[in-house]
């Protein structure tokens, strides 16, 4: 049995149709609801059909790495992790409480399956670049590195440095998903994808609610280049 068999060996107790009720278990004033719901379909397609990681192989050195940079709205992330068996569904009802491991920002030491602690804008993509470099230095060319960022994070200079470095470095195992809910303060001339393409990335822009389009974009070949998928969803303040 190899890690590539995971999606045929692991059966989720919950499906996509259960995610709304799972998210409904999490209450409180600091939910960042729009930030969470904007990522729901992206997260589901990744964990259900793309990522080579499972609860049983969280520490496998050949696993894919998923980094949630948009950690200030983690409800959808927690719901998907629970649906895929990484954490008990019962934990969801305690979301954000004093003694709950599920904080308003994910903590990698408390949340099974979380690769990084996140929430501060602009950190995830630079960490993903470093992770991809580290894996390459170890000769591990199998694991893919995925990072999910929000369009507003592209206002942060640290992301522009990471984008500019990753293309010329040929980080083929690096994948970025930008969930675009029109919340950025500074528009990108030519669109978000154009910024990545100018730095040597492969880029696709799709409907962030269309599971088949997301899957096709996630699995599109991009030899020798890092890959970005811009997932457009409804505007945050519509």
Distance between CA atoms of residues 55 and 153, nearest Å: 29
pLDDT at 31 over 70: no
Please check the confidence at residue 238 and state whether its pLDDT lies above 90: no
* pLDDT digits 0-9 by tens, 53-110: 999 988 999 999 999 998 888 999 999 999 999 999 999 999 988 899 999 999 999 9
pLDDT in the model for residue 9: 35
- Among candidate residues 50, 17, 57, the one with its CA nearest the CA of residue 148: 50
119 pLDDT band (50/70/90 cuts)? confident
pLDDT at position 2:
37
The gap from C-alpha 237 to its chain's centroid, in whole angstroms, comes to 22
**What pLDDT digit, counting tens, does each position of 200-230 carry?**
999 999 999 999 999 999 999 999 999 999 9
Confidence of residue 29 (pLDDT cuts 50, 70, 90): low
- How far is the C-alpha of 70 from the C-alpha of 173, rounded, in Å? 20
**Three-state secondary structure string covering the chain:** CCHHHHHHHCCCCCCHHHHHHHHHCCCCCCCCHHHHHCCHHHHHHHHHHHCCCCHHHCCCCCCCEEEECCCCCCHHHHHHHHHCCCCCHHHHHHCCCCCCCCCCCCCCCCCCCCCCCCCCCCCHHHHHHHHHHHHHHCCCCCCCEEEEEEHHHHHCHHHHHHHHHHCCCCCCCEEEEEEECCCCCCCCCCCHHHHHHHCCCEEEEEECCCHHHHHHHHCCCCCCCCEEEEEECCCCCC
What tokens were used for 200? 């040597």
The model's pTM = 0.91
- Give the angle subtended at the CA of 67 by the CAs of 168 and 97, to the nearest 5°: 155
pLDDT tens by residue, 142-171: 999 999 999 989 888 999 999 999 999 999
Between CA 70 and CA 114 the distance in angstroms is 13
| Percent over 70 (pLDDT), the chain | 89
| Cβ-based burial of 117 (10 A; exposed 0-12, middle 13-18, buried ≥19) | middle
**What's the rounded Cα separation, in Å, for the pair 180 and 78?**
20
Residue 182 has pLDDT above 90, yes or no: no
Rounded mean pLDDT of 2-30?
68
pLDDT of residue 122: 85
Mean per-residue pLDDT of the chain? 89
* pLDDT band for position 186 (cuts 50, 70, 90): low
Cα–Cα distance, 139 to 141 (Å, whole number) = 6
Rank 21-30, 33-42, 171-180 by mean pLDDT and report only the highest: 171-180
């Amino acid at each position: 049995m190899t890690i590539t068999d995971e999606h045929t060996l692991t059966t989720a107790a919950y499906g996509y149709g259960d995610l709304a009720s799972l998210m409904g278990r999490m209450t409180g004033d600091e939910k960042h609801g729009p930030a969470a719901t904007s990522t729901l379909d992206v997260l589901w397609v990744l964990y259900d059909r793309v990522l080579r990681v499972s609860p049983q192989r969280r520490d496998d050195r050949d696993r894919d790495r998923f980094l949630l940079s948009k950690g200030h709205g983690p409800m959808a992330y927690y719901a998907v992790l629970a649906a895929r068996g990484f954490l008990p569904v019962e934990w969801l009802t305690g979301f954000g409480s004093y003694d709950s491991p599920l904080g308003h920002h994910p903590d990698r030491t408390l949340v099974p399956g979380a690769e990084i602690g996140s929430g501060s804008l602009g950190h995830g993509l630079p960490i993903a670049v470093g992770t991809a470099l580290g894996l390459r230095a170890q000769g591990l060319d199998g694991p893919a590195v995925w990072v999910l960022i929000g369009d507003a994070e592209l206002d942060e200079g640290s992301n522009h440095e990471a984008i500019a470095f990753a293309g010329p470095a040929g980080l083929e195992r690096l994948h970025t998903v930008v969930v675009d809910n029109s919340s950025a303060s500074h528009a990108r001339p030519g669109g978000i994808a154009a910024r990545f393409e100018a730095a040597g990335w492969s880029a696709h822009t799709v409907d962030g609610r269309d599971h088949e389009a997301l899957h096709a974009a996630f699995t599109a070949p991009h030899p020798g280049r890092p890959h970005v998928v811009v997932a457009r969803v409804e505007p945050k303040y519509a």
